[in-house]
């Protein structure tokens, strides 16, 4: 058990969306062409892909896959393309009109100019019509890339400019650029980036880390390894692989060489008083690592981000009073001045458990049994 002084607290400023100012997006939006080329060269040098594979993939994406035929074969019940065409051009085949429309496009996304990953997209959205099928006219279509097509959705439009990649590509960008060492950290980074899809997509992306680890090209945190636990100036707790290196700037080491299957138990409060004190337990495999995140705070990963912008993962911006590490088969007890008082309450969520009838934190400690 260790006693701790109250830590510095840092307040955050939210914008009018109710999100932290940098709540979404990492740093790919600041990359220039040289950085993207460097990443491609790394992927080739590391044997992830070959230049032939890169080139053939690009060639494939330059040929929009069945954009015309997807319009011509659109479901008659859901979409009105064929019915609207029949009313406007009786007795005329639809497909020639579709291809004429297709040939007259510029072959680029009308928003960003890319020639890759193009889709047919409504200019005036179907949601703006009492009968959505009324929007299904060739004259109401344009070519947009997948990213800018998705960015028009009401759920995305407010944040669409903060990142530059569609989710499929962003998943791999995060994996190869930031190289998260746990699947949970990958999910956290994806939420910080702004991805709102189901978590199974992150699970699937994690397969790449597992494949590369087997080839000796990726490092994944395991329970049988040792970790240093680091406390940062903003109150966040992260970990790193056990090392003799000094703590990073802005951090101090709480515990060295902790086994990866241990559980971090601690008492923390919002204002340093017993009235707001809560008890927390986090298995070390849930404690995030710290990563370089460009102009974001290095401890931003110490958030469990939700679609609403993120809930701070305690004890970020809290006073940390006492902590202890326990093994999975051990339990923590509260003691005061060395005398056991009660077993620590069972954890049920990231929000911790409020301590009942706790009047003061003086002399309080944690004892492992």
Residue 154: per-residue pLDDT: 62
Report the pLDDT value the prediction gives residue 16, as an integer from 0 to 100.
Answer: 38
Question: Given the structure tokens 């060639």, which residue do they identify?
Answer: 59
Q: What confidence score (pLDDT) does residue 312 get?
A: 67
Q: What local confidence, expressed as pLDDT, does residue 262 receive?
A: 96
C-alpha triplet 46, 52, 57: angle, nearest 5°: 100
Spans of the chain below 50 pLDDT: 1-19, 21, 306-309
Nearest to 163 by CA among 291, 60, 294: 294
Q: What is the pLDDT of residue 9?
A: 29
- The secondary structure of 298-315 as a DSSP string is TTGGGEE--TTS-EE-TT
pLDDT in tens, 5-42: 333 322 333 333 444 545 567 888 889 999 999 999 99
Contact 70, 101 (CB under 8 A): no
Phi, psi of 134 (to 5 degrees): -65, -20
pLDDT at residue 148, as a whole number: 85
Question: In whole angstroms, what is the distance from residue 282 CA to residue 347 CA?
Answer: 9
* d(C-alpha 232, C-alpha 7), whole Å: 9
At 61 the pLDDT is: 86
Counting Cβ atoms within 10 Å, is residue 235 exposed (0-12), middle (13-18) or buried (19+)? Answer: buried
Q: Rounded to whole angstroms, how far apart are CA atoms 256 and 247?
A: 11
Other Cβ atoms within 10 Å of 154 Cβ, number? 8
What is the total residue count of the chain? 369
In whole angstroms, give the CA distance from residue 15 to residue 245.
38
> Quick check: 238 and 299 in contact, CB under 8 A?
yes
First to last CA, the chain: 12
Element (H, E) at 254: strand 251-259
Question: Which of 169, 132, 134 is closest to 150 using CA atoms?
Answer: 169
Report d(CA 30, CA 34) in Å as an integer.
11
Q: Which pLDDT value is given to residue 131? A: 93
């Amino acid at each position: 058990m260790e006693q701790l002084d109250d830590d510095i607290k840092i307040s955050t400023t939210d914008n009018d969306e109710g999100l932290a100012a940098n709540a979404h997006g990492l740093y790919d939006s600041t990359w220039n062409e040289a950085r993207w080329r460097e990443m491609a060269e790394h992927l080739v040098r590391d044997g992830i892909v070959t230049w032939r594979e890169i080139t053939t993939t690009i060639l494939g994406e330059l040929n929009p896959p069945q954009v015309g035929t997807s319009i011509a074969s659109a479901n008659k019940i859901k979409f009105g393309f064929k019915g609207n065409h029949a009313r406007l051009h009786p007795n005329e085949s639809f497909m020639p009109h579709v291809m004429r429309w297709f040939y007259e496009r510029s072959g680029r996304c009308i928003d960003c100019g890319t020639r890759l990953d193009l889709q047919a997209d409504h200019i005036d959205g179907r949601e703006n019509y009492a009968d959505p099928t009324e929007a299904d006219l060739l004259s109401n279509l344009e070519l947009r890339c997948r990213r800018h097509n998705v960015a028009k959705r009401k759920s995305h439009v407010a944040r669409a400019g903060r990142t530059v990649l569609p989710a499929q590509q962003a998943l791999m960008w995060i994996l190869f650029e930031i190289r998260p060492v746990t699947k949970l950290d990958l999910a956290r980074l994806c939420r910080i980036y702004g991805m709102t899809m189901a978590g199974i997509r992150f699970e699937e992306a994690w397969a790449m880390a597992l494949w590369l680890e087997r080839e000796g090209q990726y490092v994944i945190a395991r329970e049988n390894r040792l970790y240093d636990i680091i406390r940062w100036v903003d109150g966040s707790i992260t970990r790193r692989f056990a090392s003799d290196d000094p703590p990073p700037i802005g951090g101090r080491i709480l515990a060295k060489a902790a086994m990866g299957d241990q559980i971090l138990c601690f008492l923390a409060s919002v204002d340093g008083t017993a009235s707001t004190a809560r008890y927390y337990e986090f298995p070390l495999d849930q404690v995030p690592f710290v990563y370089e995140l460009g102009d974001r705070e290095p401890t931003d990963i110490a958030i469990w981000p939700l679609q609403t912008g993120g809930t701070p993962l305690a004890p970020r911006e809290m006073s940390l009073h006492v902590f202890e590490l326990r093994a999975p088969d051990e339990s923590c007890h509260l003691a005061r001045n060395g005398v056991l008082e009660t077993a620590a309450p069972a954890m049920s969520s990231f929000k911790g458990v409020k301590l009942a009838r706790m009047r003061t934190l003086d002399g309080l400690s944690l004892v492992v049994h």
